[in-house]
Structure 1
Amino acid sequence: MNVLLIRAAKPLANVLLFLAPLCPLSAQPQPIYTLPELMDSAMRHLPLLLEKEALVQSAEAGIGEARDAFLPQVNVAEGVSLGSANDLAGPFLPVPGAIHPISGSIAGASNYQAVTGNMASLYAQYDLVTFGLKDARVASARAYVSLTRAELEKARYLIKWEIGKLYFNILSRGYQLAVDGEDVRRYEQMYAISKALTGAGVNPGVDSSLARAGLSRTRITYNELAGELRRLQQQLGYLTGIASPGIRMDTSRVGLTSAAGLTGPYPADTLAAGNPLEDYFARQQQQYRAQEALARKSYLPKLILGAGGWARGSAIQYSNVYSSAGEGLGYQRLNYVAGVGITYELFNGVHRRDRLNVLGKQVTAAGYALQQQQLSLHNQQMQADESMRTARANLAELPAQLQAANDAYRQKLAQYRAGIINLVDLVTASFELLQAQTGYIQTLNQWFIASLDKAAATGTLDQFLQTTK
């Protein structure tokens, strides 16, 4: 089959070499970009990709945050106060917003004299045993990094795929524009000949009118295609950050002979393991599973090691004598405490069950999403295979059609000049030639687009794109 493609490429290669100089991709000399260079420009320029790179960096910083969350907690406080210490003995329920004296005299009568006091405290707490919570939280953070990286690679992959399609479509439209330009020149020639023959009385005047109408039609077609080509160039400029009038693409290594060598690297019924379009959904499922593991550890008891100390000063002396304000500004007592405690919220079992139920559904949904993506990629691969088979079959016939159409047009042109045939016969021959040239270009583009789609589906997009540089 490769030999067939190489043979089929030769007539088209001659046509493209003839038409390429006619393709008005740029009026002024500009730098010529290879396809990998266009890709690199998009990777550096497109804000969407830069945003996702920043999100990856943010996720990576989250790993350090998860580790540091388990550092010892050390709180230092110092306060100087002025107020009354008029209290009663007995229990009370602390209410948010209520300020209760932490110590004071207990006397039979109320005493609203203001006194001073100060207090400094130091308290440190460390989760001595977390029952795997720390490792689970760090693992969850790592899974999130993998997910954000997969999302970045998926976005890059899709942009490369889109640029590849634009690249081949721009080439196709450029060659088609050259073909349409040749069609315009053929009608200009027909119009000039018909006017001469009409003026000499050989042909009726309707011939020149028909030729003029055909010339206008071909020019309109040419103008519409030129506008479409500019729109594709503008889209490529939007993705790459290169001004669209300055984009000239290196096509020196693009052709069916190159394409023939690429028919083999794709497995028939399998997908590549490193396909970013599939890997993203796999990472998403892993991230949900990491959250499941974190939830299981989050509701376990905590074994805490705590230690602290505080120094206290007050203007109220031990004999319940209210001294001057200055007496309460110095530290008079020092205390310390240390201990080990265990904490467990009694309804954690319910909370854990509810959370795991939510995350379990998310894991299941992510699994279905992965299966759907695998199914879609496999279907895309099969459709690309069918398009490539159709293109190869057509390429076996198109060279003969192109040669026959070209010979027929030249013969009809000579006959029309001699006045043997009418204009309709010549127009029909010109249309057949245009259809043969257009069919060749479209079939070539169909083969490349199908090859590109198959490469994207099988995870070999970069390998395919490198062959076109």
Structure 2
Amino acid sequence: MLVLRSKAAKMTAYILVCISPLLSLAQMQSVSLQSLIDSATHHLPVLDQKRALVKSADAQVDNVRHNFLPSAVVADELTLGTDNGVPGSYWSFGIIPSTSSGIRSSNDYQPAFGNIAILYGQYNLINFGLKNAKVEQAKMYADVNNADLEKEIYLLKWQIAKLYFDLKKNTFQLEVDAQNVKRNEEIYKVIQAVTRSGIKAGADSSMALAELSKTRINYNQTLGQVFQLQQQLSYLTGIPQYNLSVDTTAKSDYNQSVQAILLQSDSAQNPLTDYYEKQKKVYDATEVLVKKSYMPKVLLSASTWARGSGIDYSGNFKTDPSYGLGYQRVNYMAGLTLSYDLFNGVHKRDELAVSKYNAQAIDYALQQQRLALQNANAQANDAINTANKNLQEIPVQIKSSGDTYNQKRAQYKAGIINLIDLTNASYVLYRSQTDYVRTLNDWMLANLDKAAATGNLDQFIQSIK
């Protein structure tokens, strides 16, 4: 008798250990799918990185516009040097100072002060559409960065939704496993009572205990999967793991909420394809820019300058600095400059070829993405049809298996059947409940994949309460 009480105490303690995580999950405040997504979109650093790139691309648009502002340079230069020059021309190396007018037969090492001030401005008067082409290309790059951010968020929403439904499935399964443990506990108690009465042999008690242990193992494995999914969601959303619990009370409301969505078959607005379409527009804009970049350039230039020198008009060097530091002459000049590189045709052809093949490559990538989404949509439709058929059959399966178990349980207590028949009935009921959980999850995931493939992911998520 003491042994039986000891075993009962151990089993009671084990049940409390198994059920306590489930109770703690039930006590948590349930989180919705939308709240998980909202947290994730403000938590992950990779999204902040994408947002910073979007801002950088927007700033580049202003930078391109400002590159076409007129240039205006003001400078004033004071000098002290000699004035010995010779006739002749040379290529300037950028380090040889300019010496003008000082052509004489002898070298004169006497220095003199000099002063020059200049105001110079230049404006690209006619750019043949180059400015607009550069600005348009910068805008297209900004659109690509924004589309990349939207694509990253879209994939994140898809991933979180899958994890959410997997967590819901495993939480459902945890309830089923807990019921299975409780059911096998009851079977074990019945067997003990029947064994003590002498109706059944003691071997049945050992077999029932082994089956009970197996159900506990299944429960522990499912509980571990729940914790792993919670940890993964915690990583993506920043919500502590112990605050992540899903509502499992409304198992039949999803059908109506999802069927209320008019899922489109058009994926034109899908962020997964929009990203490639924006990239294609970049290469289209680049092709226009290449054509405009090799047009002639018409520049308007204007300058005024003042000059002072310590060498007078007779070639005499003045030692007084005031002769060289003041301004003695003022000049101005304006002009139009037309420039064109005779080899522009070659460079233009080469760059257009590069742009053309880049555009072709991204167009193939766009076609591949559309094909993949069409395939995902077709597979989702097949999965939805299969799950719908199974969901119609499962209620019959669960009711029949439940009735069968209750009958077998009563028959075993009466000594009409053996333990194998009873455990088989219990297993069929457990399998029916598990099939319901799996099929419901398959149905939700298939609808999720269909919504994501057709660009209706946000609408789908909003329908999940």
Counterpart amino acid of 2:240? A
Aligned to 1:279: 274
Q: Is 2:314 the partner of 1:332?
A: no
1:204 to 174, 178, 201: 201
Aligned to 1:72: 70
Aligned to 1:422: 418
RMSD, aligned CA: 2.2
TM-score for the superposition, normalised by structure 2: 0.90
Aligned to 1:83: 81
> How far is the alpha carbon of 1:281 from its aligned partner?
1.0
Counterpart amino acid of 2:213? S
Give the SS at the match of 1:45: coil
The whole-number CA distance in structure 1 between the counterparts of 2:26 and 2:410 is 38
> How far is the alpha carbon of 1:437 from its aligned partner?
0.2
> How far is the alpha carbon of 1:189 from its aligned partner?
2.4
The whole-number CA distance in structure 1 between the counterparts of 2:246 and 2:263 is 30
Counterpart amino acid of 1:81? T
Aligned to 1:33: 31
The whole-number CA distance in structure 2 between the counterparts of 1:57 and 1:413 is 69
1:403 to 388, 399, 405: 399
2:146 to 138, 146, 149: 149
Query: Is the contact made by 2:85 and 2:99 (CA closer than 8 Å) also made in structure 1?
Result: no
Q: Is 2:110 the partner of 1:93?
A: no
Counterpart amino acid of 2:399? Q
Residues 100-158 of structure 1 show CA distances to partners (whole Å, capped at 9, x for unaligned) of 33435222122233333222211111111100101111111111122112111111111
1:42 to 33, 40, 58: 40
Query: Is the contact made by 1:308 and 1:337 (CA closer than 8 Å) also made in structure 2?
Result: yes
Aligned to 1:349: 345
The whole-number CA distance in structure 2 between the counterparts of 1:339 and 1:267 is 65
Residues 330-371 of structure 1 show CA distances to partners (whole Å, capped at 9, x for unaligned) of 222222110111111221111111111001001111111111
Aligned to 1:13: none
Q: How is 1:157-176 mapped onto 2 (pairs within 5 angstroms)? A: 157-176=154-173
Give the SS at the match of 2:239: coil
> How far is the alpha carbon of 1:179 from its aligned partner?
0.4
The whole-number CA distance in structure 1 between the counterparts of 2:439 and 2:332 is 86
Q: How is 1:278-297 mapped onto 2 (pairs within 5 angstroms)? A: 278-297=273-292
Query: Is the contact made by 1:104 and 1:316 (CA closer than 8 Å) also made in structure 2?
Result: no
Aligned to 1:6: none
- Structure 1 runs not aligned, ≥5 long: 1-20
Aligned to 2:15: none
C-alpha distance 172-396 of structure 1, shift in aligned 2 (>3 A): same
The whole-number CA distance in structure 2 between the counterparts of 1:206 and 1:28 is 38
Give the SS at the match of 2:123: strand
Aligned to 2:453: 457
Q: Is 2:107 the partner of 1:113?
A: no
Query: Is the contact made by 2:257 and 2:464 (CA closer than 8 Å) also made in structure 1?
Result: no
The more displaced of 359-368 and 112-121 is: 112-121
Counterpart amino acid of 1:103? S
Residues 419-455 of structure 1 show CA distances to partners (whole Å, capped at 9, x for unaligned) of 3322222211111111100000111111110001000
C-alpha distance 216-114 of structure 1, shift in aligned 2 (>3 A): farther
Give the SS at the match of 1:336: strand
Query: Is the contact made by 1:87 and 1:101 (CA closer than 8 Å) also made in structure 2?
Result: no
Counterpart amino acid of 2:325? L
The whole-number CA distance in structure 2 between the counterparts of 1:400 and 1:276 is 42
Q: Is 2:57 the partner of 1:59?
A: yes
Aligned to 1:3: none
How many residues are treated as equivalent by the alignment?
A: 446
Aligned to 1:218: 215
Counterpart amino acid of 2:162? K
> How far is the alpha carbon of 1:27 from its aligned partner?
5.0
The whole-number CA distance in structure 2 between the counterparts of 1:207 and 1:87 is 120
Query: Is the contact made by 1:123 and 1:308 (CA closer than 8 Å) also made in structure 2?
Result: yes
Query: Is the contact made by 1:81 and 1:117 (CA closer than 8 Å) also made in structure 2?
Result: yes
The more displaced of 140-149 and 21-30 is: 21-30
Query: Is the contact made by 2:40 and 2:238 (CA closer than 8 Å) also made in structure 1?
Result: yes
Aligned to 1:16: none
The whole-number CA distance in structure 2 between the counterparts of 1:300 and 1:36 is 53
Give the SS at the match of 2:107: coil
Give the SS at the match of 2:22: coil
Residues 275-330 of structure 1 show CA distances to partners (whole Å, capped at 9, x for unaligned) of 11111111111111011111110111111111011222222222211222613222
The whole-number CA distance in structure 1 between the counterparts of 2:59 and 2:425 is 69
